[in-house]
A = this chain, B = another copy of it.
Amino acid sequence: MPKLDLSTIPAKTGSGYPGKLSDGFEGRSVQPLGDAGGLTQYGVNLVRLAPGAASSLRHYHMQQDEFVMVTKGVCTLIDDAGTHQLGVGDCATFPAGDANGHHLVNKTDAPAAFLVVGTRTKTETGYYSDIDMMVTFDEAGFSFTRKDGSPLTADQTGEDT
Protein backbone atom coordinates (compact mmCIF):
# COMPACT_ATOMS: atom_id res chain seq x y z
CA MET A 1 0.00 0.00 0.00
CA PRO A 2 1.23 3.54 -0.63
CA LYS A 3 1.44 4.49 3.07
CA LEU A 4 4.99 3.90 4.27
CA ASP A 5 5.75 2.14 7.54
CA LEU A 6 8.85 4.07 8.55
CA SER A 7 9.63 1.56 11.31
CA THR A 8 10.44 -1.04 8.65
CA ILE A 9 12.76 1.11 6.50
CA PRO A 10 16.41 0.54 7.44
CA ALA A 11 18.48 3.62 8.22
CA LYS A 12 22.08 3.93 7.06
CA THR A 13 24.44 5.66 9.46
CA GLY A 14 27.57 7.60 8.54
CA SER A 15 28.68 8.83 5.12
CA GLY A 16 30.20 7.46 1.93
CA TYR A 17 33.13 9.89 1.97
CA PRO A 18 36.55 8.30 1.55
CA GLY A 19 38.79 7.68 4.54
CA LYS A 20 38.95 10.21 7.31
CA LEU A 21 36.62 12.54 5.41
CA SER A 22 33.79 10.42 6.81
CA ASP A 23 34.89 11.13 10.39
CA GLY A 24 32.25 12.96 12.35
CA PHE A 25 29.26 11.58 10.46
CA GLU A 26 28.47 8.86 12.99
CA GLY A 27 25.58 11.00 14.23
CA ARG A 28 23.91 11.17 10.82
CA SER A 29 21.45 8.52 9.67
CA VAL A 30 19.44 8.36 6.47
CA GLN A 31 16.21 6.53 5.70
CA PRO A 32 15.53 6.23 1.94
CA LEU A 33 11.76 6.81 1.95
CA GLY A 34 11.36 7.28 -1.80
CA ASP A 35 13.29 4.14 -2.66
CA ALA A 36 11.27 2.18 -0.09
CA GLY A 37 8.08 3.41 -1.74
CA GLY A 38 9.14 2.52 -5.27
CA LEU A 39 9.96 6.01 -6.53
CA THR A 40 12.74 6.31 -9.11
CA GLN A 41 12.60 9.86 -10.50
CA TYR A 42 13.84 11.60 -7.35
CA GLY A 43 15.18 10.51 -4.00
CA VAL A 44 13.35 11.36 -0.78
CA ASN A 45 15.37 10.76 2.37
CA LEU A 46 14.61 11.35 6.03
CA VAL A 47 17.88 12.43 7.62
CA ARG A 48 18.31 12.36 11.41
CA LEU A 49 21.07 14.43 13.01
CA ALA A 50 22.24 13.74 16.54
CA PRO A 51 23.54 16.76 18.46
CA GLY A 52 26.66 18.01 16.69
CA ALA A 53 26.10 16.04 13.49
CA ALA A 54 26.12 17.49 9.98
CA SER A 55 24.11 16.43 6.94
CA SER A 56 27.15 16.33 4.63
CA LEU A 57 30.28 18.21 3.76
CA ARG A 58 29.27 21.61 2.41
CA HIS A 59 28.49 21.05 -1.30
CA TYR A 60 26.36 21.94 -4.30
CA HIS A 61 24.94 19.96 -7.23
CA MET A 62 25.34 20.78 -10.92
CA GLN A 63 22.35 18.85 -12.34
CA GLN A 64 20.05 18.03 -9.44
CA ASP A 65 17.52 20.26 -7.70
CA GLU A 66 17.49 19.84 -3.91
CA PHE A 67 14.74 20.65 -1.38
CA VAL A 68 14.79 20.33 2.40
CA MET A 69 12.14 20.69 5.13
CA VAL A 70 13.01 20.38 8.82
CA THR A 71 10.70 17.91 10.55
CA LYS A 72 12.17 17.80 14.07
CA GLY A 73 14.27 20.09 16.25
CA VAL A 74 16.37 22.91 14.86
CA CYS A 75 18.96 22.71 12.09
CA THR A 76 21.46 25.39 11.18
CA LEU A 77 21.80 25.89 7.44
CA ILE A 78 25.31 27.01 6.54
CA ASP A 79 25.87 28.36 3.04
CA ASP A 80 27.94 31.02 1.30
CA ALA A 81 25.76 33.73 2.86
CA GLY A 82 26.29 32.60 6.44
CA THR A 83 24.04 30.72 8.88
CA HIS A 84 20.26 30.46 9.00
CA GLN A 85 18.14 28.74 11.67
CA LEU A 86 15.56 26.26 10.35
CA GLY A 87 12.87 25.06 12.75
CA VAL A 88 10.12 22.50 12.15
CA GLY A 89 8.33 23.33 8.90
CA ASP A 90 11.05 25.62 7.62
CA CYS A 91 12.21 24.84 4.07
CA ALA A 92 15.14 25.66 1.80
CA THR A 93 15.81 25.09 -1.89
CA PHE A 94 19.06 24.61 -3.80
CA PRO A 95 18.50 24.80 -7.56
CA ALA A 96 20.78 22.71 -9.78
CA GLY A 97 23.90 24.58 -10.83
CA ASP A 98 23.69 27.27 -8.14
CA ALA A 99 27.26 27.30 -6.81
CA ASN A 100 26.19 27.97 -3.22
CA GLY A 101 27.72 25.26 -1.05
CA HIS A 102 25.43 24.26 1.81
CA HIS A 103 24.83 21.77 4.57
CA LEU A 104 22.70 21.45 7.69
CA VAL A 105 24.24 21.09 11.14
CA ASN A 106 22.52 20.22 14.40
CA LYS A 107 24.06 22.72 16.81
CA THR A 108 21.54 21.96 19.56
CA ASP A 109 21.66 19.33 22.30
CA ALA A 110 18.47 17.64 21.08
CA PRO A 111 17.84 15.37 18.07
CA ALA A 112 16.93 17.01 14.76
CA ALA A 113 15.65 15.66 11.46
CA PHE A 114 14.82 16.87 7.98
CA LEU A 115 13.30 15.61 4.76
CA VAL A 116 15.46 16.05 1.65
CA VAL A 117 14.45 15.60 -1.99
CA GLY A 118 16.95 15.33 -4.85
CA THR A 119 16.41 14.64 -8.52
CA ARG A 120 17.76 11.38 -9.91
CA THR A 121 19.89 11.97 -12.99
CA LYS A 122 21.99 9.54 -15.03
CA THR A 123 25.12 11.55 -14.37
CA GLU A 124 25.96 14.18 -11.80
CA THR A 125 28.81 16.34 -10.57
CA GLY A 126 28.96 17.89 -7.12
CA TYR A 127 31.54 20.25 -5.67
CA TYR A 128 32.60 20.59 -2.04
CA SER A 129 33.02 24.21 -1.08
CA ASP A 130 35.50 23.98 1.77
CA ILE A 131 37.93 21.35 0.47
CA ASP A 132 39.52 20.41 -2.86
CA MET A 133 37.08 17.60 -3.71
CA MET A 134 34.40 16.86 -6.26
CA VAL A 135 32.13 13.87 -6.72
CA THR A 136 31.05 12.49 -10.07
CA PHE A 137 28.34 9.94 -10.68
CA ASP A 138 27.74 7.91 -13.80
CA GLU A 139 26.91 4.34 -14.77
CA ALA A 140 30.14 3.20 -13.08
CA GLY A 141 29.05 4.65 -9.74
CA PHE A 142 30.39 7.41 -7.51
CA SER A 143 33.93 8.74 -7.73
CA PHE A 144 35.57 11.26 -5.41
CA THR A 145 38.52 13.21 -6.82
CA ARG A 146 40.19 16.58 -6.51
CA LYS A 147 38.45 19.34 -8.46
CA ASP A 148 40.91 18.96 -11.35
CA GLY A 149 39.99 15.26 -11.61
CA SER A 150 43.21 13.97 -10.04
CA PRO A 151 43.10 11.47 -7.19
CA LEU A 152 42.56 12.61 -3.64
CA THR A 153 45.79 12.70 -1.68
CA ALA A 154 46.70 10.62 1.33
CA ASP A 155 46.84 13.88 3.22
CA GLN A 156 43.17 14.43 2.41
CA THR A 157 41.88 10.93 3.13
CA GLY A 158 44.43 9.49 5.55
CA GLU A 159 44.65 6.52 3.18
CA ASP A 160 47.43 5.34 0.89
CA THR A 161 46.63 6.30 -2.68
Contact = CB atoms under 8 A, between A and B. Distances in A.
A1 interface: yes
Interface in A58-90: 64-65, 67, 69, 71, 77, 79, 81, 84, 86, 89-90
A91 interface: yes
Contacts of A117: 42, 44, 67, 117
B39 A42 contact: no
Q: Quick one: copies of this chain in the complex?
A: 2
Interface string A95-131: 1101010100000000000010101000000000000
A41 B93 CA distance: 12
A41 to B, nearest CB: 4
Interface in A21-51: 33-34, 36-42, 44
Contact of A92 (B3, B90, B95): B3
A2 B39 contact: no
A93 B39 contact: yes
